[in-house]
Structure 1
């Protein structure tokens, strides 16, 4: 089988000082899985220190600067292109760009065999609202331009495909849906739930609802917070843990006054796994969700989920078979949580069904092979164009 020389452009990875959200694990693990298959993978990203090879992936770092996020990403793209050119002999076969941050680099290298992956959109990151400030317009413009000049486009869900087609007029034939992958065994652990709960001052038998994610409008933590009094009216002993950081934390802390809620802030990967396997259910109350990595993480731990019926969550959850989907409303979220807590055996069945779906559809061995199919199609089309030109 043909081996490829691949260049990843992304503003974060798991192996740098800059890790913001789900983009880092999604791109890092994809790169590592492709390297395991024998392909030569170079990852151009932000970071301090010298270049390094980690898990067979070659990392090349830069330290950008800028007075705002748009200028910062412009200097980053220029630096990444310089690093790329230093390693372009023999030439790379595929250049894979992730999200808008590196569109300036895509512009410079647009004549090559390029792939742009939309992990989300600026519209989606604002919870399905159009922003009025200049950064929103600048970033949205770069997302449009990237979809226009890339040879092919991937999205993490069909809903995101529809979103970029609607927002940016990207033709459907140009877009392939490739979901995020996961290593399910990395999120499954045998823990004593009672001991983990006691660590947080919670009675070992008290039901625990876990939220994991950025505390931002898009992720809907305020919707879950508004649902809590209604949940407690029916189940007084339920406890709530919010893991993550974000600009809504102060507002949420005010809402949580007098409620059985703990804000854990940033947690380590190890603690993340412990909590997933110790909680009773995971709540995902997003207003907009391109994919929702926390869904496949929860399923990998055999946890049941209550999620809003949006985006990738709506696509991937089979309602009442491996989770519960509810409208984007606090009272609906409260109903879903109460419905599950009333029947622990049912919760367990749904969680196990979720893990089975992960094993069938979302393991990296499956997802990486699908991405390789996209790469080979780009190369095939490039060869056909060269033949016609010749």
Structure 2
């Protein structure tokens, strides 16, 4: 596809005006929104308001006056339609890791007599770690983590499986699962399903209710652009609420925390999955970032995401200098998230050389360069620039400079 053709696509892009709602540094092509979303201008304004007026002037009265106390539910309800959830099933709180722990424990309690947590062997590590932690805490007679390949999940679903825990879009490869089919398969086997939406929420339509999903988690700092360490969210289908008590019984999950009773009484509905005091600044930032989705169709976001990734893959495949890369991301649109993962033995050095040239990507061990495409602010011009710089880095062997071998703590 020619440069003129890409310019035409940008000119016709209905989402193009949203780019102006973000603070994007000059001279940078940001293709890492699948790891940390760019800064929406609305977030800076919201934080200034929260710090200067709410905290600065109204102080502790803001818990009531500015409804700080309601933020976990208010922000959760703003996320709900973006992931296909009816009201009353989603709260914003804690991190994905903590929320996984709560929901995995809930799933085991909802399926007495079953002890297995089934997951994909290459799932995101924190998902596996939290299951391993429960296994260690409860003992294998009550909890056992079992892993399988993507192709082996159905075969691994047996009468011991209490819950199947999967990430909708694989963080390494960008491969997308069929949520509806896998959820149905788990239910046919008598198991529950817990979906991690870290790499899908905000980049594509998600249909939790329509797919009859039991539980889900997701984060606020990737495609929702809520900022570094933004709070996560937790979904529990209404049919499972109030059936069991979640294990992290903090005061915000109490039926009436301000009675200060020494005895815990769980709240009603999904709100019992709250724990400690919410971080107001993080909540306000995420709330402001979510406002960008109010006039956006998630199907339009998905269409642009697929067009960006398809164009990038096609351009990479056309270049002789890039033949050494193996594309791990599926070509099929139905199986693709909003990133393209290219494997190469020198992936780390290549990623650092790209970053040094203003193409912000990231590296995932052992050998993957990830190019993430955030439809709210990425352009087809970004595709052209990224491929052009990647070609130059490879043709010049610029990545062989020793400085690109130095690894920082975060890669």
Q: TM-score, normalised by structure 2?
A: 0.28
The answer to which structure, 1 or 2, has the higher relative contact order (CA under 8 A, 6+ apart) is 2
